[in-house]
Amino acid sequence: MASEAALGAVRAEAYRIPTDAPEADGTFAWTATTLVVVEAEAGGRTGLGYTYSDAGAAGLASGALAAAGSPPTPTGRCGTSCRAGYSGTPADG
């Protein structure tokens, strides 16, 4: 079993991408989509991930996730560490 590498540098950016025209789903309307891209280093490797979310997710990744310093594979432990510093974040379930 390989040892788990500690999480190293975490870089995150949010990109606001305007839509061609206003869009709506019947409950909400929007004129742009936000793409959040995260690069995380551990064990000499760099991983890349992305999501469509609020720009605040970039701050969460580069702040709380980076500070957690946990190995990147146990997502439950990293999620718990991230939520610990943020009130109003829904709990599991």
Q: What is the pLDDT of residue 1?
A: 42
What's the average pLDDT block by block, 10 residues per block, for the chain (93 residues)?
A: 72 96 94 94 89 92 77 59 60 53
Token representation of residue 66: 């980076």
**Position 15 in a domain:** yes
Q: How far apart are CA 47 and CA 9, in angstroms?
A: 11
**Position 62 in a domain:** yes
CATH number of the domain bearing residue 57: 3.30.390.10
Number of domains in the chain: 1
Q: Which domain holds residue 62?
A: 7-68
Nearest to 51 by CA among 12, 82, 3: 12
pTM above threshold 0.85: no
**Position 83 in a domain:** no
Q: What is the pLDDT of residue 27?
A: 94
- Give the position of tokens 């720009």: 55
Q: How far apart are CA 76 and CA 44, in angstroms?
A: 22
Q: What is the pLDDT of residue 66?
A: 77
